[in-house]
Structure 1
Amino acid sequence: MSEVQALGAEAILVQADLTRRTNIVALFDRAVEKFGGVDIAINTVGKVLKKPFVETTEEEYDSMSDINSKIAYFFIQEAGRRLNDNGKICTVVTSLLAAYTGLYSTYAGLKAPVEHFTRAASKEFGPRGISVTAVAPGPMDTPFFYGQESDDAVAYHKSASALGGLTDIKDIAPLIEFLVTEGWWVTGQTIFANGGYTTR
């Protein structure tokens, strides 16, 4: 927060379990109360589980569904209700949506609905000038990636992109910034930004 303020911007911190819709509503309430309205809503929430299909428990499935699908649905829903006209909504998903691989059944599988949420919301919110997009990074060089990967898997992911290496957050942030500003005409789309890791 101090870094944001150092740039001359205002910020608020809200800690909440967003798997509960009431907390998503409260998040938007706080933003509207503080800033008078919301123009841009970006959802970066996600959780990875790398595990064989036959070993995944019901509790793990429910948690992955809540974090990767449910939050996205109700975040987009509340953004659609609360954003000012000509607002922008963007959700971070995963390039595994275009991969032919095992072990990520709940991660990729439960991010997949967000593509349709994006299409449906863009169609419904379009008359108000609101664009809705999703961005699908490749494996990113952040702690989010390394927690479930072995050294061999990390080496594979680094070698799998056509441009070589893992996705850097500096490759993703400008794309999202573009989509929620000058690139507003792009809507209902999932953009794969992964250096050629996957494509479709």
Structure 2
Amino acid sequence: MQLVSPALPVGAYTYSQGLEWAVESGRIRDETGAGAWIGDLMRHGIGRFEAPLVAALIRHWSVGNSAEIARLNADFLASRESAELRAETLQMGFSLNRLLADLRDPALDNLRSGLADLPEIAFPTVWSGLAAAWQIDRQTAVVGYLWAWAENQVMAALKAVPLGQASGQRLLAELGQAVPPIAATALTLPESDWSNLTPAFALCCARHETQYSRLFRS
């Protein structure tokens, strides 16, 4: 629960991941549009690339496979389609890595030393390492990761569209039902089938970089 809490001090609330441009360009106009955008991205993008990557990283952290951790960390950084997305995961990774020392938990010593060897650290790499160090089973961790992502997207939609609080709760209830089956697929998806091919998402993220008036950093 601590890992998926909005109180985790990594600055996730400052990012919309292209959703703000989708609102600006008229692709998202209301609750229905926001639900379709977030749900489709979770099913076809986050759920088919980021979620299975987190599951794989947890497995490799659990057995200390540093070579695979470094490879997957580099793969995730290379998959970021825009400068903002890359800066986002590095900033959040940096913030979560800095938190490790402040937690004063001896169980995190191996994680801290493992991360010290990486020149740049993506957020999922640190997050999955914490999940492994705290011995959270992979199913629970991936469900939590997807839920935290969806919740942050809904909060961004509440501000950017804007939507009311009741709309936000309806969206969360709908998205919450979709999370467990997406997580179950992510746990068994072969790496050869991972895919983050979401062109509209990539374009919105890139266009957001020059958006004149905005609330979010991405």
**TM value normalised by structure 1:** 0.31
**TM value normalised by structure 2:** 0.30
- Name the one with the larger helix percent: 2
Higher relative contact order (CA 8 A, sep 6+): 2
